[in-house]
Structure formats: structure tokens, C-alpha cells
A = this chain, B = another copy of it.
Amino acid sequence: MLGNFSYHNPTKLYFGENALDFLNEELPKYGKKVQLVYGGGSIKKNGIYDSVVEILKSNGKIIFEDGGVMPNPTADKLREGAKIAKDNDVDLLLAVGGGSCCDYAKAVSVSAYCNDDPWEKYYVRFEEPDCKIIPVGCVLTMAGTGSEMNGGSVITNHEQKLKIGHVFGDNVMPKFSILNPKFTMSLPKRQMTAGIYDIFNHICEQYFSGDDDNTSDYLAEALMKSVVHSSLIAIDNPEDYEARSNIMWTATWALNTLISRGKTTDWMVHMLGQAVGAYTDATHGMTLAAVSLPYYRFILPYGVAKFKRFAQQVWNISAEGKTDEQTALEGLAAMEDWMKRLGLTLKIGELGATEDMLEGIADATLILDGGYKVLSREEVVNILKASL
């Protein structure tokens, strides 16, 4: 384990088919006024909205509606939500939905009483909140982002063509999250697989960095193996509870800070994918899927040992009689096969990106270090081209 670090994750998780019942345990801890955050209305069709409202009412809560959170929540929507929260002095933000709703609720929690414009403060200047923070709770309906147990919050500004994430501290993490794997079963298959790839890529971003021996890398491999195994069951039978429950649990642990402790990390696939998302508004997980393989194939020569380990440990590939690079490449080939079996989109061209966008997407790509190679702008363009 490298360096000095801390770990503190105060989010309480309730998991299982009856997890929603535990909302009754959490609600009495907060005041009466609840801002109910949700998306495009699918929770109204599948009955989750009614169940949540019933529990809120039976706990004597006053509900302030904040629906219509879009898949890539915008800075404009954030300003509206913050106004609802402040005008009504709400006591709890309850996000019912996927990562977008949860990300958005966290952004609202630190924006309601913020004297500045929240987009400028948190997503342009990356400042920390210095105002009252409204507590957030989450009823998760999609597995993928890990937002239910971390401080991450991604907001999109369409005018500026920017999609940026701020990772807030443990005071902004959800106080509780309710994880019922059955709630994720109503999703279309394409949303399920996008979520699965989001999980897998979160793990990759923390794994493909550094060359030390680190317990976190063993944990990362475990989560990758579990999600790959369960995804191949779920793709054929989305109603398989065991598979869906393992996928939901790996999503949470893939991005709640555990597997990055004591190690360096890379986040370039997210930087590339988010820039594609800002231009195309495509589903987050699909943008990651489309840029991953060109990126990893490009950086592989700079981190052969780790890519070889990935091939052996995650994909069970034998290194016998092969060069390290051959073994490493076979690992990425196995990953590609798996991605194809899930039906993931492997080209940004299929997500609406066109050649004339590439320079703009490259401009919108934050270049980070931490990976095996710091990209030049030209290399960013080449990676995007390879995915077109």
C-alpha cells in the first residue's frame, strides 16, 4: 500500500428484496420535508414511485417533487433543483433512480445554500462546499455508477459542451442507500449492459496504474471476475436474481474508494468517454465501452506487466510459451469477446460521434496522469479516430 491515506465511508447500505422496508428505519432520522428526485418517469410505470410515496406518507413526510432528471443531468436542471430545495427548506433529498439521480441529488445538496453559481464553483473551479449540506438518501434502480456509496457527482453543461465530475467528501456521500436487485430488472437490456460496463471500467481505471504489489489490485480482480461471471448469466436471463444481486453489489464496491486505497489510479477512459458524452449525449457506459479498447491497446506497451497479470488473473489466460506482450494482448482480446457477447457499442461512431467532432471532443478531454502513459493531444485524437 503506497503513501498515507484515509478511508471513511459512512453510507449505510440496505440490500435485498425487502430493502425498501428499511426506508421506514431511516426516515424518522430526518425532518418532514423531502425533495423526491427522480428521472423520466419509469418509476411511475413500474410501481416503485407509488411504493416510495406510500412509505413517505406513512412516515408523515411532505413531498416536494423534483422529477425529470435526465440521464446526463445538466447545470440548468441543477440550478432548478437547488431552488426547490432552498425555497422549501427541505430536510432530505431522496433520489429514486440510477446514478444520474443520485449524482444530481448530491449536487443539489451542496448547491441549495451555495452563494455562488454551483456549476462554476464545483465543476469549473473544483472548490469544496462551504455551505449547509442537505442530507441525501438513495433508492437505487440501476446498477453501475456506484454513486450510491461515494461522493461523486457528474454534471453536464451543454452550452459549454462539458461533462465534468466532482468527487465530494464523505459529508456529501448518501447517508443511506437502498439496493434492491429486483428494481434493476425492469431496465432494458441495453441499460443493463451499459451499467455492467460502467462497473467494469471503474475497476479498470483503478487497476491499470502502478506496478507495486497492492491488496487493492487483488480486490479489483475479484470484482472484475465476479461481474464478468454474473454478466454472462444476466445477459441470457436478466431475471436471474443471484446474478443481478452480484452485479449490483460489485457496482457499489467498484467505486466507493476501497479499491483505490494506497495506489495510483488512471481515469482516462472516463475523461475520453465523458467528452464523447458531452458531444453526443450518449449513455455513459456505452461511451466508456467505445473508447476503452483503443485506449488500452495504445497504452499496453507502457504497462505490459499489469496487462499480462490482467490476462492471467481475470481471463484465465495461460502465459506458457508466449511473450508478455502476447499474453497481455490476449487479455484484451478476451475482454473484447466479452464486450461483444454483452452487445456493447464498441465505436463512438455508432453513438453519434462524427469525424468533424473529434477535435472538439479532444479539446473537451481532460488529460490526467496516473496511467501508464500521459497522452498527448494528438494521441487523444488518434484514440478517438480508432474508435470512430
Q: Which of A92-100, A123-131, A243-251 has 4 or more CB atoms under 8 Å from chain B?
A: A243-251
Quick check: which of A6-14, A284-292, A369-377 contacts chain B, the rest being far away? A6-14
* Assembled-state Cα–Cα distance A10/B176 (Å): 12
- CB proximity to B under 8 Å, residues A4-44: 4-19, 22
CA distance A10 to B14 in the complex (A): 15
Candidates B13, B17, B226, B230; contact of A8 at CB < 8 Å: B13
- Cα–Cα, bound, A243→B248 (Å): 32
Residue A302 at the B interface, CB < 8 A? no
Bound-state Cα–Cα, A6 to B11, Å? 11
Contact of A213 with B225 in the complex, beta carbons under 8 Å: no
Can you identify 28 A-B contacts, CB atoms within 8 angstroms? A1-B181, A1-B242, A1-B246, A3-B16, A4-B14, A4-B16, A4-B17, A4-B18, A5-B15, A5-B16, A6-B15, A6-B22, A8-B11, A8-B12, A10-B10, A16-B262, A212-B242, A215-B222, A215-B223, A215-B226, A215-B250, A218-B222, A218-B225, A219-B223, A219-B253, A222-B222, A249-B261, A253-B258
Interface residues of A in 95-145 (CB under 8 A from B): none
* Total residues of chain A contacting the partner, CB 8 A: 44
Additional pairs, 16, CB under 8 Å, beyond known A4-B16, A7-B13, A213-B246: A1-B15, A5-B15, A6-B12, A6-B14, A10-B10, A15-B261, A15-B262, A214-B246, A215-B223, A215-B230, A215-B246, A218-B222, A219-B223, A222-B222, A249-B262, A253-B258
A5→B165 CA distance, assembly (Å): 31
Q: Does A229 touch B at the CB level, under 8 Å?
A: yes
Residue from A181, A214, A243 having most chain B Cβ neighbours under 10 A: A214
Within 8 A of B (CB), among A198-224: 212-215, 218-219, 221-223
- Residues 55-86 of A, flagged 1 when their CB comes within 8 A of B and 0 if not, give 00000000000000000000000000000000
Q: How far is the CA of A74 from the CA of B94 in the complex (A)?
A: 47
Contact of A249 among B1, B14, B229, B245 (CB under 8 A): B1
- Bound CA span A84–B358, Å: 70
Question: Which among A6, A248, A253 has the greatest number of chain B C-beta atoms within 10 A?
Answer: A6
B1 touches A245 (CB 8 A): yes
Q: Which residues of B contact A12 (CB under 8 A)?
A: 6-8
For A177, the closest partner residue in chain B by CB is B7
- With a CB–CB cut-off of 8 A, which chain B residues contact A225? 218
Which B residues touch A11, using CB under 8 A?
8
Q: How far is the CA of A94 from the CA of B19 in the complex (A)?
A: 36
The answer to whether A15 and B10 touch (CB under 8 A), given A219-B223, A223-B219, is: no
Chain A 162-214 interface residues, beta-carbon cutoff 8 Å to B? 181, 212-214
Would A9 and B9 be within 8 Å (CB), given that A16-B1, A213-B229 are in contact?
yes
Tell me the A247-269 residues at the B interface (CB within 8 Å).
Answer: 248-250, 253, 258, 261-262
Residues of B within 8 A of A261 (CB): 15, 249
Hey, which chain B residues are within 8 Å of A258, CB to CB?
253
Tell me, rounded to whole Å, the shortest Cβ–Cβ distance linking A16 to chain B: 3
In the complex, A218→B221 CA distance in Å?
9
A4 to B241, CA, bound (A): 13
Question: Nearest-CB distance from A182 to chain B (Å)?
Answer: 12
Kindly state the separation between the CA atoms of A344 and B14 in the bound complex, as whole angstroms. 40
Chain B residues within 8 Å of A6, by CB: 12-15, 22
Task: Report the Cα distance A292→B222, complex, angstroms.
Answer: 25
